[in-house]
């Protein structure tokens, strides 16, 4: 493990300089620090600020094959903590990557369709009621004959973004991302055009306006290699399992955390993942601390290197980076 020092202080060794692959820790922990400041401005949410301030304050690594391997860290598990969102999304993607080949082997003739369903932007104080209506609409959609005839499995996630226009800064844009496992007949006699998806979603939601719906088929291209086709599918997975609320949206505008706190209140105890059909229970929102430490690892890998020394890095707000702390090594 090579070390490099910061120019102005030879005693300071930053994690991102020792291990450039771990730069993301600096970025997400820095965002978490900013989010905690916003929570601290509302007495109702100071408990979240306290938890986030303690989240991933230190990281303990072992060295394996010349690389740092994370072994110990405490996560606050606040839903909108940027660090915890990041680690959860990594684990969800890893679970999908692990299961996707099995699904393809079991259903070789089936294909994937990536669907995004939206509604008009409500005020942030109407978010919970809007999400409840969308959940009911989704249930009606998946129980419709046309959906059931061609879709054998589904995975649906919820994302909430913030409109970019300043006069809409206290609004929200809730939408669903869904990966659908469809029969091969979807691309001939049972094909559902985008206009039909719009009509089906509008009917399921009982809307009096035309909603925005995006649909994209993810099917093998005979001119591409297996790796390229797999990459296309993985891109759809990345889009489906990204942050439920982006840190950039939480921190946008100088609103003293009003939008973030209201989103937190409105989404309290709500589930943002739904699975159905042959994909039911393929994923779970209940992710352990250990799984967040090593999203890509199985139990045996997690228990490896237990007897090796630990190297500790501490997050230092002054630098907004993790610094090697040899005095606290194991």
DSSP state for residue 89 in the 8-state scheme: H
% of the chain exceeding 90 in pLDDT: 70
- What is the pLDDT at residue 64? 86
**Span 15-60, pLDDT tens digits:** 999 999 999 999 999 999 999 999 999 999 999 999 999 999 999 9
Average pLDDT over residues 147-171: 94
Is the Cβ–Cβ distance between 113 and 217 less than 8 Å?
yes
**12 pLDDT tier (thresholds 50, 70, 90):** confident
| Secondary structure letter of residue 6 according to DSSP | B
Instruction: Please enumerate in sequence order all residues whose Cβ is within 8 A of that of 181, keeping only pairs 6 or more positions apart, or say none.
Output: 103, 107, 110, 111, 112, 151, 152, 153, 154, 277, 278, 279
**Whole-model pTM?**
0.88
Residue 150's nearest CA partner among 191, 106, 194 is 191
Judged against a pLDDT cut of 50, whether residue 190 lies above it is answered with yes
Please name which of 238, 230, 213 lies closest in space to residue 118, comparing C-alpha atoms. Answer: 213
Query: What's the pLDDT score for residue 6?
Result: 41
Task: Calculate the average pLDDT of the chain.
Answer: 89
């Amino acid at each position: 493990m090579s070390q490099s020092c910061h120019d102005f202080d030879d005693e300071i060794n930053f994690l991102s300089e020792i291990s450039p692959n771990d730069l993301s820790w600096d970025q997400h922990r820095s965002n978490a620090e900013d989010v905690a400041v916003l929570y601290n401005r509302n007495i109702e949410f100071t408990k979240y600020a306290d938890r986030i301030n303690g989240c991933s304050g230190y990281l303990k690594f072992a060295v394996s094959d010349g690389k740092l391997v994370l072994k110990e860290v405490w996560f606050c598990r606040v839903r909108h903590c940027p660090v915890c969102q990041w680690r959860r999304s990594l684990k969800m993607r890893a679970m999908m990557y692990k299961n996707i080949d099995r699904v393809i082997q079991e259903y070789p003739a089936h294909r994937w369709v990536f669907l995004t369903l939206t509604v008009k932007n409500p005020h942030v104080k109407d978010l919970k009621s809007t999400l409840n209506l969308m959940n009911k609409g989704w249930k009606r959609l998946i129980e419709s004959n046309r959906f059931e005839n061609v879709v054998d499995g589904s995975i649906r996630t919820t994302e909430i973004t913030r409109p970019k226009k300043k006069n809409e800064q206290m609004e929200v844009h809730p939408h669903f991302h869904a990966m659908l496992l469809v029969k091969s007949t979807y691309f001939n006699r049972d094909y559902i055009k985008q206009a039909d998806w719009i009509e089906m979603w509008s009917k399921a939601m009982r809307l009096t306006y035309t909603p925005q719906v995006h649909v994209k088929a993810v099917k093998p291209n005979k001119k591409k290699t297996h790796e390229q086709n797999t990459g296309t599918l993985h891109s759809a997975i990345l889009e489906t399992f990204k942050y439920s609320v982006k840190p950039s949206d939480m921190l946008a505008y100088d609103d003293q955390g009003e939008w973030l706190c209201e989103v937190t209140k409105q989404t309290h105890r709500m589930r943002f993942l739904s699975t159905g059909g042959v994909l039911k229970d393929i994923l779970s929102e209940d992710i352990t601390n250990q799984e967040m430490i090593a999203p890509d690892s199985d139990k045996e890998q997690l228990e490896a290197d237990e007897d090796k020394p630990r190297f500790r890095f501490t997050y230092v707000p002054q630098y907004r980076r993790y610094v090697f702390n040899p005095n606290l090594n194991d």
